[in-house]
Each structure stands twice: as structure tokens, then as C-alpha cells.
């Protein structure tokens, strides 16, 4: 598939899941021979179903657009960002350093939890982030996605508005 507008999410104008997975595969293929690492942040807005239910889809979509802008602003230049669906986002960053990934994740958690103003109403939405590192946690694109998804699940089990793994923790 080529990088066309049809592969962009209609709400956020970020790449959709299919386009992101293609870019992820290419990035992994390029990183492996040079043994350079990659960081995948899997970002989920906590309890976003409640926002949809309480404010309606149109207002919830405005929050999704704003969350996409916030994530884009905080990610380093050259990062690949996507909306994977629903309230899930991904950021693929060059380098596989857990401390740098955790610093980026902490910034994103803070930025995402700043109030969103929708029709003069302040709405606080937190996020949870799973971190997957190549080659530390996986050796291929599918494995990196699974690793980041598992880490996101652990972050949510830890109470939401957090990231997993924390710096210094070696996770398979």
C-alpha cells in the first residue's frame, strides 16, 4: 500500500493502523542490519468510552484530534505517529533506550492529562502507555507490536495514567 490520503485516519489525519504497520515493518527491516534500536509507544486514552457516552461522538472526536496534536508536538522529529483505532495511538521513535522512552512517555502522560476544553467544559482524560523496544523486547515488527500491547495492558492493570515498563525494569 502506498502512503496516500486514503490511509489516513478520518478524524485525526494521522496514518491509520494499516499504514502504520507498513511503516513499522520498514523501520524494523532498516534497523536490524545496522543493529539500531526502535521504540514503540502504544498509547491508550483511559476510559474514553465514558467520554463518548457523556459528551457524544462529535465532542469526543474533538478530544481525539487534540490528543493527536499533543502527542505529535511532544514526539521527536522523525517519529512515526498513528491512530490505531478507537482511542489508541502509536508512536515509533528511532533508538531503543528505555530511559529515553520513559522520559518521552512521562511527557506524553502529562500532556495528555492536561484538561481539554470542549464547548466551555473542561474535560480531563488520562492515558496509559506501553513501551516496546527493539531489540530488547522483540526482534521483528509483529513482536514489537505485541510487546508494546502487553506493556500497555500491564500499565492499565497498574492503575492507568502510567507507563510500563518503568525505567530500569528488563521485560520480555
pLDDT per residue as tens digits for the range 42-53 = 999 999 999 999
| pLDDT in the model for residue 170 | 45
For 86-93, what is the mean pLDDT?
98
| pLDDT in the model for residue 167 | 54
Determine how β-strand 116-118 pairs with β-strand 127-134: unpaired
CA–CA dist 126, 115 (Å, integer): 9
Which position among 87, 97, 119, 140 bears the catalytic label?
A: 87
pLDDT tens digit sequence for 113-139 = 999 998 998 999 999 999 999 999 999
For 157-169, what is the mean pLDDT?
73
Active site residue 16: no
Residue 105 has pLDDT above 80, yes or no: yes
> Would you say residue 170 lies in a domain?
no
| pLDDT in the model for residue 172 | 39
State the Cα torsion 128-135-172-86 to the nearest 10°.
30
Yes or no: say if 100 and 112 are a contact pair by the CB < 8 Å rule: no
The candidate with the shortest Cα–Cα distance to 118, out of 41, 74, 62, is 62
Residue 103 has pLDDT above 70, yes or no: yes
Domain limits for position 35:
5-164
Q: Where are the beta strands (DSSP E) in 34-157?
A: 38-45, 80-85, 88-94, 116-118, 121-123, 127-134
Q: How many domains does the chain have?
A: 1
> Would you say residue 171 lies in a domain?
no
> Would you say residue 37 lies in a domain?
yes
**CA angle (109, 68, 93) in 5-degree steps:** 70
Q: How confident is the model at residue 160 (pLDDT cuts 50, 70, 90)?
A: confident
CA–CA dist 75, 25 (Å, integer): 20
> Would you say residue 90 lies in a domain?
yes
For 98-122, what is the mean pLDDT?
94
> Would you say residue 172 lies in a domain?
no
Q: In this structure, what CATH number is given to the domain that contains residue 116?
A: 3.30.70.270
Amino acid at each position: 500500500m502506498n502512503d496516500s490520503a486514503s490511509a489516513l485516519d478520518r478524524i485525526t489525519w494521522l496514518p491509520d493502523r494499516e499504514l502504520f504497520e507498513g511503516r513499522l515493518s520498514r523501520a524494523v527491516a532498516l534497523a536490524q542490519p545496522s543493529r539500531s534500536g526502535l521504540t514503540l509507544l502504544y498509547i491508550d486514552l483511559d476510559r474514553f468510552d465514558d467520554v463518548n457516552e457523556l459528551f457524544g461522538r462529535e465532542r469526543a472526536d474533538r478530544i481525539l484530534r487534540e490528543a493527536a496534536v499533543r502527542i505529535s508536538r511532544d514526539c521527536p522529529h522523525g517519529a512515526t505517529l498513528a491512530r490505531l483505532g478507537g482511542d489508541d495511538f502509536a508512536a515509533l521513535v528511532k533508538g531503543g533506550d528505555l530511559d529515553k522512552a520513559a522520559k518521552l512517555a512521562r511527557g506524553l502522560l502529562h500532556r495528555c492529562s492536561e484538561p481539554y476544553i470542549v464547548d466551555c467544559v473542561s474535560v480531563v482524560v488520562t492515558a496509559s502507555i506501553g513501551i516496546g523496544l527493539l531489540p530488547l523486547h522483540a526482534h521483528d515488527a509483529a513482536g514489537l507490536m505485541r510487546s508494546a500491547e502487553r506493556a500497555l495492558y500491564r500499565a492499565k492493570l497498574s492503575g492507568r495514567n502510567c507507563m510500563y515498563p518503568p525505567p530500569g525494569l528488563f521485560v520480555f
